[in-house]
């Protein structure tokens, strides 16, 4: 089931980098100042998207005031916005083993995990962080059939025409999506010093993401 998540909150800047708990890891963040919007030379808006990377954001700075009629855009690359996740469903993530053919090119792709997977036939999984080699499988979902303690086949994925598995890839993961997983970890964003600049500044934060699980 697809699930879109959004949250709008206000926080008061402490004048230095600070964490903001959202309850999820956002894909998009938009921030506006509620206290300095009419101040000359003040940064009044920040935008961040997940593909921008940690510490990045775009910023708008007032070039005049009372009222502001012109704003200059800039890009911050170090002290902007960073997504944080202290426990991203770690109990539902399985690391794919490193080595040749750890995902095979077959009518029903066979996956070998780095440790015992503990899954049962009929479980549903999604592939994540496949950044090289068999990138075609990134984001794909499948019901599985257990073969051994560390291998299973994918009932719904025909990988015969996919690029061969990268034997050096160490980041590949299988995320178990059979059920919605509870996670009490800290999830949200870090506001860098380019955002949390002025002590007492009230910031309106809008954050958005989308997650899914299979019922």
Is pLDDT at 215 greater than 60 in this prediction? no
The rounded distance, in Å, linking the Cα atoms of 210 and 89 is 15
Looking at residue 2, what is its pLDDT?
A: 47
Q: How confident is the model at residue 85 (pLDDT cuts 50, 70, 90)?
A: confident
Tell me: pLDDT of 5 over 50. Answer: yes
Beta strands in the chain (DSSP E): 2-12, 18-21, 28-33, 43-49, 56-62, 71-85, 93-95, 110-112, 124-128, 141-146, 151-154, 173-176, 187-191, 202-212
Confidence of residue 184 (pLDDT cuts 50, 70, 90): low
Question: What does the pLDDT average to over 40-56?
Answer: 92
pLDDT exceeds 80 at position 57 = yes
Kindly report the average pLDDT of the chain as a whole number.
Answer: 87
Please tell me the pTM assigned to this model: 0.55
Q: What is the mean pLDDT of residues 48-65?
A: 91
Q: What mean pLDDT do residues 168-180 have?
A: 78
Count how many Cα atoms sit within 13 Å of the Cα of residue 136 in the half-sphere of its side chain.
14
- pLDDT tens digits for range 61-80: 998 877 777 889 999 999 99
Give CA–CA dist 30/33, Å, rounded: 10
Going by C-alpha positions, the residue among 146, 199, 208 that lies closest to residue 174 is 146
What is the average per-residue pLDDT within 78-93? 76
The class (CATH top level) of 90-176 is mainly beta
Q: What is the pLDDT of residues 19-30, one digit of tens each?
A: 999 888 899 999
User: For a pLDDT cut of 70, what percent of the chain falls above it?
Assistant: 90
Residues 186-210 have pLDDT tens digits of 789 999 999 998 999 999 999 998 6
């Amino acid at each position: 089931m697809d699930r879109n998540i959004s949250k709008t909150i206000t926080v008061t800047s402490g004048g230095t980098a600070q964490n903001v708990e959202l309850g999820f890891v956002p894909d998009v963040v938009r921030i506006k100042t509620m206290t300095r919007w009419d101040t000359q030379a003040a940064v009044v808006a920040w935008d961040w998207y997940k593909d921008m990377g940690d510490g990045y954001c775009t910023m708008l700075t007032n070039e005049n005031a009372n009222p502001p009629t012109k704003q200059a855009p800039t890009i911050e690359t170090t002290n902007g916005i960073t997504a944080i996740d202290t426990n991203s469903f770690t109990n539902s993530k399985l690391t794919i083993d490193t080595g040749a053919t750890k995902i095979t090119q077959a009518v029903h792709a066979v996956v070998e995990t780095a440790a015992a997977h503990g899954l049962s036939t009929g479980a549903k999984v999604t592939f994540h962080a496949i950044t090289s080699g068999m990138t075609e499988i990134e984001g794909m979902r499948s019901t599985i059939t257990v073969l051994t303690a560390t291998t299973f086949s994918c009932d719904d994925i025909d990988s015969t025409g996919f690029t061969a598995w990268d034997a050096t890839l160490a980041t590949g993961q299988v995320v178990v999506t059979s059920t919605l997983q509870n996670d009490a970890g800290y999830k949200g964003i870090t506001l860098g010093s380019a955002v949390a600049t002025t002590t007492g500044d009230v910031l309106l934060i809008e954050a958005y993401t989308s997650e899914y699980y299979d019922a």
